[in-house]
Structure 1
Amino acid sequence: MGLHPKGFDLSLNRIRRLLDVLGNPQLRLPPVIHVAGTNGKGSVTAFCRALLEAQGLSVHVHTSPHLVNWHERYRIGVKGGPGKLVEDEVLAEVLRRIADANGGQQITVFEILTAATFLLFSEHPADVAIIEVGLGGRFDATNVIDHPAVSVIMPISLDHQPYLGDRVELIAAEKAGIMKRGHPVVIGQQEYESARDVLIATAERLGCPHTVFGQDFGAHEEFGRLVYQDEFGLMDLPVPRLPGRHQYANAAAAIRAVKAAGFEVTNAVAEKAMSGVEWPGRLQRLTEGKLMDFAPAGAEIWVDGGHNPGAGEVIAEAMAGFEERQSRPLYLVTGMINTKDPVGYFRAFADIAQDVFTVPIRGTDAALDPVALAEAAFDAGLVAAPVSSVAEALKEISERLDPDMPAPRILIGGSLYLVGNVLSDNGTPPK
């Protein structure tokens, strides 16, 4: 991070040059499931991994960003069992080789990390690799994969507008850049019809066999079960372990993507995957750790890295669903970076949150000042106060509680950076 630019410089020239010096490892990968989208990328990646590992396959997984430790970005497939995060020594050696190959030429941090993905995944045998796009699609450093087993485009909404455009159609066109002529495409649930139209038109123009959520496949809850349906029939499954109704559509996209990539998904495999899927930092409930000591007795604490209005809506819907099952006052502890739309994020919680406490974030120069963030929450119709830390926010909630009220539900979120801070401070990093 000290040696290379921290921002984005979307281009494929530098990564292609570097990969050429490294012997083009991206050409020696197992079948690749390539995933783009504004929201839901990480969840569909987690579901795909669970579906593939449930049938004993070895699965490499690249995600970004990491929450606590850099090696979280690289999960190395293990035959017949869950993949393991790359060992620090192995990652360090790969990064040394990349530095030597780059020879001091200008390059971004993400391009180096992407080159590490291709080296690691090409040098460790596996049955399949799932590679998540970093930003956008067309000029993202991962988009040197010329023959994906399937390209998956998840929900698209406004985010990273300075880089991708200020309309969802423009953002959709950038995300659609991962589609490759003649290769299968799965289009996940889309909030905006205009984005969906762009994705379908691009797939048709490129001659990509494509399936669309709500048209060719789908999922819904019925009698406490998840029912998945596509042209091959129905599957009656347990609801996903990942909470929130939005995960039904993510699970459906993953099932369809794994099928489109050429792998079988039996009912038994899907059932095992729904029950075993894991995705840290996304509606993750904290049940132990150092921060729990500061929280009110009996409090239910959730962390989620969603950071744009679209994510705010699905998280708020999940919180409202929890409220239906067990009534508790909801408090928000929020930190965000300055490229996001905090008012749009907070607006989703205007009718369900009691109070908001805004906090600083470590590890980024782009963190919004808690005072400014509290003003944004106020503009969205919420009562908000800036505090110095998550621990102080939890203490404040304890002091404000009416003893006659149920123990609170607390959502800590607004940024993956903040979630990383919390999981680190709590002593519960991803494994």
Structure 2
Amino acid sequence: MNYPETLAWIHGTERFGSRLGLGRMGRLLHRMGDPHLKVPYIHVAGTNGKGSTTTMIASVLTAGGFKTGKFISPFILEFRERMQIDGEMIPEETLAALATRLRPIAEEFKAAGDPPTEFELVTVLGLTWFAESGCDIAVLEVGLGGRLDATNIIPAPLVAVITRVDYDHTAILGDTLAAIAGEKCGIIKRGSTVVCYPDQEEEALDVIRRRAAEEGDPLRLPDRTQLTILSADLSGNRICYKGQEVFIPLSGPHQVLNALTALEALEALSGTRFALSPASIAAGLAATRFPARLELLRQVPPVLVDGAHNPNGGHALCDALKALGLHNLTAVVGMLRDKDCLPVLRMMGPYCARMIVTTVPNPRSTPAEEFAELARQVCRDVTICPNCEEAARLALSTAGEQGVLVFGSLYLASAVRPVLIAELQKN
């Protein structure tokens, strides 16, 4: 297969499997030579912040001279973002060659009535590439949950990281923080060090503590008393933590907490061959790049793109806008039907003079006309523009001096980000 054929094959598979469990993943990987057993890992689960935390950790390991794989989802710019080594996406020809090897195995499983899911195939491809490329270490972001996620086929990671746990995917993970945390804690295995986000709700933290104790694993929590925020603006956050000054080029107070989580995970490696110098830590954090996480596309007037899509993400975005003194924004917003839309909109209402509601380019999207009824409950000026690219252009042309904000879905951010960049480059 060539690269376009590879994408068509991957996206043409089922999103959800007929059987729960990791047995199918184990069998697929065994047929590919058990690549998941050949690389040490850091595994990152959580509701919010896991992508940013994964990216910070991987960037620092690369700066430290280690060949570092990174596995994340979803992608923002293009599919190959999902698997990277030292910040470089998998080459098209490499992905196509790996998929050509995997496809007949997957077809064999399908013929036997046990077809792999899309995420399982992508995970197998990523793990195989990391192993066959000779990665020193890989940082894996969980796709959904943790316990039954395809990435959890790996043996005990060096570090199991739990970022902020909140309500999302409740139909699958459970409707209490304890239940959701229990699923996330499925990545905690005997022989790891567990690192937890610093502002975890007590209900979730109790579950994390208990699971770490059951596995006999040490639990590390960032120490907020050793944090000083030196500066914070749209370019990012400069902080001092445990006596070391670092710059995080991701804006918003929530990214400070994600950075503390990443720093604790990296400190947990100090007794291993992956020990890192202060210079590597500072350089790696400063080099972190992660699109659509309160990403600044233009400084004045500001144009911001964020993937906030649940109440916790909404809180983080609001805290950032408040800290940065941003208000009266023109928002381009759309959300998926299975998200808790109204609470997010209520949080964002005070910061938005106008909402241009659109349809997210995803089968699970709430149609713009239906979403507008929710938006009108929190904002007086609501415009319906079902085509998200047109919505982005409309926002840029009418926002004035207060600026533009995109939020509600990473799928929306992925679709409109290139449009915004192209329009800004014209001016």
- Is the pair's TM-score, using the shorter chain for normalization, greater than 0.5? yes
Aligned residue in 2 for 1:282: 293
Residues 198 and 427 of structure 1: CA distance in aligned 2, closer, same or farther (over 3 Å): same
Partner of 2:252: 244
- Is 1:170 the counterpart of 2:179 in the alignment? yes
* In structure 2, C-alpha distance between the alignment counterparts of 1:213 and 1:374, rounded to whole Å: 41
Residue of 257, 266, 269 corresponding to 2:277: 266
Alignment CA distance shift 1:126-1:222 (3 Å): same
Question: Is it true that 1:422 corresponds to 2:416 in the alignment?
Answer: yes
Counterpart residue identity of residue 51, structure 1: V
Task: Give 1:387's aligned amino acid.
Answer: C
For residues 377-413 of structure 1, give each alpha carbon's deviation from its aligned partner in whole angstroms, at most 9, with x where no partner exists. Answer: 2334564232133454355546766xxxx71221112
Report the Cα distance in structure 1 between the residues aligned to 2:328 and 2:377, rounded to whole angstroms: 21
Distance in 2 between the 1:165 and 1:133 partners? Answer: 17
Deviation sequence 1:73-94 (CA, Å, 0-9, x none): 11023xxxxx311011110111
**307 and 317 in structure 1: CA distance in 2 versus 1, 3 angstrom threshold:** same
Q: Which residue of 2 aligns with 1:344?
A: 343
Of residues 23, 27, 34 in structure 2, which corresponds to 1:24? 34
Give 1:143 deviation, angstroms: 0.3
2:98 to 73, 94, 99: 94
- Give unmatched runs, 5+ long, in structure 2: 1-9, 233-237, 423-427
Is 1:315 matched with 2:326?
A: no
Q: Which amino acid aligns with 2:239?
A: L
Structure 2 residue aligned with 1:12: 22
Q: Give percent identity, aligned residues only.
A: 32
Q: Contact 1:332/1:355 (CA < 8 Å) preserved in 2?
A: yes
Write the distance in 2 (CA, Å) between the matches of 1:90 and 1:397: 39
2:151 to 142, 150, 159: 142
Query: Residues 104 and 427 of structure 1: is their aligned pair in 2 closer, same or farther, counting only changes over 3 Å?
Result: farther
Counterpart contact for 1:57–1:127, Cα < 8 Å? yes
Q: Distance in 1 between matches of 2:231 and 2:11?
A: 53
Structure 1 Cα separation of the partners of residues 404 and 231 of structure 2: 28
**Residues 1:256 and 2:279 aligned together:** no
What's the TM-score once normalised by structure 1's chain length?
A: 0.86
Q: State the SS of the aligned residue for 2:312.
A: helix
Distance 1:25 1:274, change over 3 A: closer
Normalising by structure 2, report the TM-score: 0.87
- Aligned residues of 1:244 and 1:317 also touching (Cα < 8 A): yes
- Check conservation: 2:72, 2:141, Cα contact below 8 A: yes
Aligned length: 399
Change (3 A) 1:19 1:396: closer
Deviation at 1:321, TM superposition (A): 1.9
| Root-mean-square deviation over aligned CA pairs | 2.3
Q: What are the equivalent positions in structure 2 for 1:33-72 lying under 5 Å apart?
A: 33-72=42-81
Amino acid at match of 1:378: R
Does the C-alpha gap of structure 1 residues 394 and 76 become closer, same or farther in structure 2, counting only changes over 3 Å? Answer: closer
Partner SS, residue 151 of structure 2:
coil
The 5 Å alignment of 1:215-254 reads: 219-222=227-230, 225-229=238-242, 234-238=243-247, 240-254=248-262
- 1:283 shift after superposition: 1.2
